[in-house]
Amino acid sequence: MDEDKSQSIPYLQINYTGGLHLVKVKRIPVSCQLNIYRFPFDVQECSITFLSLIHEEDEMILTSKSVEFSTNSSVDSDSGWKLEDLTKCNFTYNLTSIRSFSCQQYNLTLSREASLYVVNLLVPSCFLSLLDLCSFILPPQNMDRSAFKMTLILGYTVFLIITNDILPKSVSPTPLINVFFSLSLGLMVASLLETMLIVNLSNFPNKYPKVPRWVHVLILDFLGRLLFISHKCPDAQVEVVLNSNAKAGNPDITAMMPSLTGEKDEREGSAVVNELKKVAQDLLTIRLRVEEHLRPKQAEIEWNLIANVIDRFLFLIYILFVIASYITIIVLWSSS
């Protein structure tokens, strides 16, 4: 027993036969071993036994009010617990073969009020996990996704530190809610590692100018078709803009060929045609150079496609693992 803080009642009740009735209130703190594996949806069963080791059964027999009276007279307090059931039983405790004592045992079934913990712990954790899941909408090659995920992990860590005082202090068995928090944090870290992998793949063209054949076949041809991602590289769109300041019109060919009569004029015309062919060849070479400069590199396009395929594949695996993990925890919470 702890320190006696019960209120003293200095009154005796006497009846006409001379019998005395003494009422004395006692406040008894009782400890009960709790199983918090299903916290905050746990139901605890505790027992309280009353007996006297001074007065034997032939001197004192313990009796009590009915169970209905004890249940109705129990005071509801803001302790976070709810009395579900109360039973009692009377038995005799045999200390030795000649000494026995009257005993009375109460069996209590208590359920925890889980609404406070659901609102303060589970709902914010689910919202943060949902944000991490929605972060896959961001472009994988952009650094914004990595920064967002790192900020989210930092926020979740601060959330766990703040709510640490609300969680029960127990070593064995480990509460399922601690497993839930650790799993959520682990999934966030895994999604950040996946983003780092995708960003690294986007920088592969600088290291590997050509995509290996087996990577192209396995990821683009096979995995890309399973995920309904087109593995064909888009053609480069080269836009040619005419100079509006240039003078329109055809060149005066007659000025270059004043006369086409005679053998001399024929030779001069042939030289002009050859010169025009050389100019056309130079223009074609310049056009090819410009197209090659403006067209994205083939390796860069292929590595970006590979990064998109792997990103979608890992995202699907991430969703399946999240669903399977959460369903498993919910089933354990409801069936344990």
pLDDT in tens, 54-76: 888 888 888 888 888 888 777 66
What pLDDT does 262 receive? 53
Residue 207 and residue 137 share a domain: yes
The model's confidence at residue 269, banded by pLDDT at 50, 70 and 90, is low
What is the arithmetic mean of pLDDT over 154-170?
Answer: 87
Predicted local distance difference test score (pLDDT) of residue 171: 63
User: Does one domain contain both 229 and 210?
Assistant: yes
Closest CA to 81 of 106, 48, 111, 108: 111
In a domain, 92, yes or no: yes
What's the pLDDT score for residue 236? Answer: 46
**3-class secondary structure, 90:** strand
Distances 127 to 11, 133, 155, 276 between C-alpha atoms, Å: 60, 10, 12, 71
Determine the pLDDT at residue 126: 92
| CA angle 147–153–158, rounded 5-degree value | 125
Q: Are 172 and 314 in a shared domain? A: yes
Mean pLDDT is highest, among 77-81, 103-107, 221-225, for 103-107
For 21-54, the pLDDT digits (tens) are: 887 777 778 888 888 888 888 888 999 888 888 8
The C-alpha atoms of residue 101 and residue 122 are separated, in whole angstroms, by 49
Q: Which CATH number is 176's domain given?
A: 1.20.58.390
72/163 same-domain check = no
Strands in 43-51's sheet, in edge-to-edge order, are 43-51, 100-112, 81-94
Residue 278 domain-assigned (yes or no)? no
| 130 in a structural domain | yes
Query: Which of the two residues, 172 and 241, has the higher pLDDT score?
Result: 172
Beta-bridge partner residues of 48: 106
Q: Residue 253: pLDDT band by 50, 70, 90 thresholds?
A: very low
Residue whose pair of structure tokens reads 């068995």 in the numeric block: 173
My answer on whether 143 and 177 are in the same domain is yes
- Conformation bin of residue 83: beta by default, left when phi > 0, alpha when psi is -120 to 50: beta
Residues 68 and 144 in one domain: no
| Residue 191 maps to a domain | yes
Domain boundary among 84, 113, 142: 113
Task: Evaluate whether residue 312 is within a structural domain.
Answer: yes
Q: What pLDDT, on the 0 to 100 scale, is given for residue 267?
A: 65
Do residue 321 and residue 207 come from a single domain? yes
**Number of other residues whose CB lies within 10 A of the CB of residue 101:** 20
% of the chain exceeding 70 in pLDDT: 79
**Confidence band (pLDDT; 50, 70, 90) for 166?**
confident
Last residue of a domain, one of 95, 113, 131: 113
pLDDT score for 242: 47
For 174, the domain range is: 117-233+299-335
Greater model confidence, 273 or 326: 326
User: What's 53's domain CATH number?
Assistant: 2.70.170.10
What pLDDT is attached to residue 141? 67
Q: What is the mean pLDDT of residues 121-128?
A: 92
Mean pLDDT of 101-111: 91
The answer to the question of residue 310 being in a domain is yes
Task: Answer yes or no: is pLDDT of 249 > 50.
Answer: no
Q: Is residue 261 a part of any domain in this protein?
A: no
**Domain assignment present for 216:** yes
Residues 202 and 85 both lie in one domain:
no
Beta strands, E only, the chain: 12-14, 20-22, 43-51, 81-94, 100-112
Q: Are residues 222 and 201 in the same domain?
A: yes
Report how many domains make up the chain: 2
Kindly report, residue by residue over 270-295, the tens digit of the pLDDT: 777 777 888 888 888 887 777 666 55
Buried b (16+ CB within 10 A) or exposed e, 188-213: beebbebbeebbebbebbeeeeebee
Mean pLDDT of 130-142: 83
Section 302-317 average pLDDT: 85
Residue 119 has pLDDT above 80, yes or no: yes
Q: Which of 163-167, 261-265, 272-276 has the lowest mean pLDDT?
A: 261-265
Q: Are residues 87 and 216 in the same domain?
A: no
Mean pLDDT value of segment 217-239: 66
Q: pLDDT category, 260, cuts 50, 70, 90?
A: very low
Span 139-166, average pLDDT: 86
Query: Could you tell me which residues come within 8 angstroms of residue 182 by beta carbon, excluding any fewer than 6 positions away?
Result: none
Does one domain contain both 203 and 98?
no
What is the residue-averaged pLDDT of the chain?
A: 79
Same domain as 149, residue 128: yes
Summarize the confidence of residues 192-217 as an average pLDDT: 77
> Final residue of a domain: which of 113, 136, 171?
113
